Structure 1
């Protein structure tokens, strides 16, 4: 927690002084009572003493004063809030190696289940697109607010061909740029276009081109093998940077994963090094998942950051309300127990 006017916190000093003075006063009253009356007499005169109750109301008042002093200093906290709009592209490797069964029941099935859950749990303000890549890459679902359309596209994916990681990044970057251009056109003519037509409410409040282009985008790319077709992941990193699209990569499968054609077997480990470099070069994060449960956890970790931003927010109002509540409770207890305000 930080403060816009930290010097005002000096107001806590007199509050602390009042607390110390109260404690000293209570000790002095105890000494005087013992000095001028015997203990048996005190028990007969005041057989039931309120004890902690007589201090609670005063303590709550002092605490309320401390809260008010803190609120006056303009406290502010970093809070995680959802973006008003954000774009996430999910790129899934559908190469032949995704038929390997080192991840139960097989890689492609477990990957689709985890991706579907990830899509459904993203914040409502996030629009989603899907890219599938094998020997080439294609956008199977343009960026849209229709989550079920994305889910159906992911569920229909089938394993085939080689692995074009770089092409997947290029295709995703082009989709992000296309979406930004659609947003820009919509802001210029004041009408929804492209996928925004599915949810006109999201275009309300769009004021200028800068707002449309600055929509944060993220690519989440899962692959279980080495790049075997198309442009390299290293080449695609520049396209991701130009699209302002960090790439979070997931190296999927176990090092011992194999596929078989009935005659021979082929080892199909993921290319950790290239995927890690791609993530680091674009400002994303690298993950490794060797089981369906680990993949679920990876998507959960990614989802906890995608679509959210950290915003410094004043918390003066909640503190003032807390201080007011403490003062009211203190007054109510004092009236109830001692028939006085404090």
Structure 2
């Protein structure tokens, strides 16, 4: 324990002359009743009040000492604590093209992917996790972090239409690779969610997969969408009209990406299928991460203040009840 205002502790020295003054005062007090011989009272039993005579003064001294300690502001000490946790580094690469608004998954593909991914994030408290979004181009929504509260806040803001439309799978992988390539973790993973075929971007998906492989990054690919046709919403005035559109997922390319990087390809026709990815990731070797935790100072004056208040209260009660003087 340390004191923020340690100089106030010098006030404790003032208690010494106060104690001396009290002792001298007691010696110099004259008796209320003077008699010529006190031998007759030598064997008179003492009242319990005799033993309590100096208790109020002692309580006052303790209360004053505690008040001085409160003024000095006692605090717990700052501390750095090194600990090791098990975790892996993961980038979620999520397709936000307009086709992700199809409602073959409920409420739609994008929201279904977000819900399951958010559940995954909550279940991996020791992992560094980041988010990359892609459509016609790609950008990082959140870099790798263990602050999952911030991550989930940013996650909720993911929606279709925030970037140019299209499906640049290769760019999505490449962007995620740039966030993972310098990682010291033994296990580095990209989870790619998409519902289409690559039709935009300067980097092909297979080239991006080779780059990921060179950095020891494993890519899990997920094709989101049912087989056949899917209902797609079109806003018309103040209403929404639905039309069926064909589900076109380039499963061959997604499978090749996963195979190149020693990952797996999953076809997610429902939310429950997405969870299969997490079961596979749990089998990965986890790496130990050194984490330095910082503990802030905490004010600890409250207990001292409470003890001082109780001492004052007890002194007042004793003086005005058991040891009350009658004029």
TM, length-normalised to structure 1: 0.53
For 1:221, the equivalent position in structure 2 comes to: 192
In 2, Cα distance between equivalents of 1:302 and 1:90: 15
Give the match's secondary structure for 1:300: helix
For 1:135-214, what aligned pairs fall within 5 Å after superposition?
135-160=136-161, 161-177=165-181, 179-180=182-183, 212=184
Q: Which residue of 2 aligns with 1:121?
A: 123
1:243 equivalenced with 2:221 (yes/no): no
State whether residues 125 and 148 of structure 2, in contact with CA within 8 Å, keep that contact through their aligned partners in structure 1: no
Contact map agreement 2:102 2:109 (CA 8 A) in 1:
yes
SS in 1 for 2:92: strand
Structure 1 residue 264: Cα displacement: 6.3
Structure 2 equivalent of residue 268 of structure 1? 247
**Structure-1 residue corresponding to 2:99:** 97
Equivalent in 276, 286, 290 of residue 298 of structure 1: 276
Seen in structure 2, the aligned counterparts of structure 1 residues 278 and 83 have a Cα distance that, compared at 3 Å, is: farther
Larger Rg: 2
Partner of 2:267 in structure 1? Answer: 288
Normalised TM-score (structure 2): 0.55
Distance change in 2, residues 1:263/1:149 (3 Å): closer
> Which structure has the highest helix share of the two?
1
Structure 1 residue 299: Cα displacement: 3.7
| Structure 2: unaligned runs, 5 residues or longer | 1-83, 235-240, 288-327
- Structure 1 runs (4+) greater than 3 angstroms displaced: 82-85, 260-266, 306-309
Partner Cα separation in structure 2 for residue 133 and residue 264 of structure 1: 24
Across the two proteins, how many residue pairs are aligned to each other?
A: 193
Given that 1:163 and 1:225 are in contact with CA atoms closer than 8 Å, whether structure 2 keeps it comes out as: yes
**Matching residue of 1:257:** 230
The structure with more strand, counted as a fraction of residues: 2
